[in-house]
Chain A
Amino acid sequence: MRSPFRPDFPPDPAILDDHKPLIRSLERRGLIRGGLSLGALVMLTGCDVRRPEAIESALLAISRLNDGVQALLFDPKKLAPTYPDSMILRPPKFNAYYDVMDVKPVNGTAWRLEVSGLVADKRAWTVSDLQALPQTSMVIKHICVEGWSYIGGWTGVALRLFLERVGADLRAKYVAFKTADNYPSSIDMASALHPQTLLALEYGGETLADPFGFPMRLRTAVKLGYKNPKWVTAIEVTNDYPGGYWESLGFPWFAGI
């Protein structure tokens, strides 16, 4: 049926051609610069549009604002829920940015943990050095940004204790990690000092298995799963934003839970 609102004489489509440059500037610059309201952003991101770079950077700015708000809200004394040992999932769930067949096991004997940046003692650590430090255990939930979770039991050295031992500047902003699988990561100092942040050496009371980060990985109860690098080979204390693997692809950096 013909719409009753349709005019009898539609405008000549050639008008569009005549004013093409003007219309284009309206669509692009007008909408992006003038109309960059929060509401418009919701609409734009809800649709599958090719995001111009201006939108992309605006969204990243909002993501950084979110990071800042999360950092403000973070309570360094508040503990994440813990669970009984009987609830530990054995074996844990594997995940990486590649499938398990591409895991390259790390030789624990040759492995060294490099320490750099704002620390007094830059001596490299062996596995037995770490094992000789007081060990902490925690049964916590691993929560992935993709929506899945599982309960895991981790044992290792509290990162706070480690940072104190190496004489790290605890007022520095970031603790950054490098890994054997080229998955750089970093967390804020407040989360690094949280009592539920470990340099994990064991899972479920046994040495960490190869696919889960042997010989050492980060496990923190206050961050999403992708902030827990496996096969850690280097730790740096720094004031320069170190970023991370998924963060460089647009994931939020703070990622607190």
Chain B
Amino acid sequence: MVRGYLSAVASLLLAFVCGLLAFAGAAHAQSATPGGMPPPPGMSLAESAAVRFPQPVRVGDLLGRQVLRPVESQDVLGRVRRVVRDQNGQIMVVVNFGGFLGFGTRPIAVPADAMVLLGQDMEIVAFTPNQLQQFPTFSPSGTTDVADDTIIKVGLAKPSH
């Protein structure tokens, strides 16, 4: 009796596993239209950010966020260190970039319009890692920090996986 019950439970569990596995194949379907596409050709950074439905976000909430590469593997490019306004008044996100396991990073300033919000993370959609390698190391001279309570607008993207 108990045995019969146990084997019924066991086969139910197996059925769940099978269902999950069946479903794993279908999950790929969600990537039909990739997220985090680079700006369409001929569009300025500001224009491309504008078509990504920019949403208000508190600057202090961006600090420390992971910055991802908009590809299926979602490689971590770095972390948000600070947000500044450059000499031209453009809002730049300073990212601790590169390195290995968080060591040996250097700060680079990426225009906020080149980035998107992805839930708790951010992505750099307008530059490839190779381009980012060429970015100069950030120097704070001539820039002003944007206060934590400032609300800025940043575009969105769907997840890239």
Partner of A65, one of B15, B51, B118: B15
Q: Does B34 contact A (CB under 8 A)?
A: yes
- From DSSP, what is the main secondary structure of chain B's interface residues? mixed
Closest chain A residue, CB of each to CB of B29: A249
Closest chain A residue, CB of each to CB of B61: A90
Known contacts A63-B23, A249-B29: A38-B35 contact under CB 8 Å: no
Partner of A252, one of B11, B23, B57, B118: B23
Contact yes or no, A251 B155, CB < 8 A: no
Known contacts A38-B11, A91-B55: A100-B157 contact under CB 8 Å: yes
Using Cβ atoms and an 8 Å threshold, which residues of chain B touch A91? 55-57, 117, 156
Contact yes or no, A93 B56, CB < 8 A: no
Ordered by A's residue number, 26 sampled pairs between the chains whose C-beta atoms are within 8 Å are A38-B11, A38-B14, A45-B21, A45-B24, A46-B21, A51-B25, A59-B18, A69-B15, A91-B55, A91-B57, A91-B156, A93-B120, A96-B158, A97-B32, A97-B33, A98-B32, A99-B36, A100-B52, A101-B52, A103-B53, A145-B30, A148-B119, A150-B119, A211-B53, A250-B29, A251-B23
Further 5 A-B residue pairs, CB within 8 A, beyond A97-B33, A99-B33: A63-B22, A69-B16, A100-B53, A100-B158, A148-B119
Residues of chain B having any CB pair with chain A under 8 Å: 11-12, 14-19, 21-27, 29-30, 32-37, 51-53, 55-58, 61, 117-120, 155-159, 161
Residues of chain A having any CB pair with chain B under 8 Å: 38-39, 41-42, 45-46, 51, 59-60, 62-63, 65-66, 69, 89-103, 145-146, 148, 150, 209-211, 246, 249-252
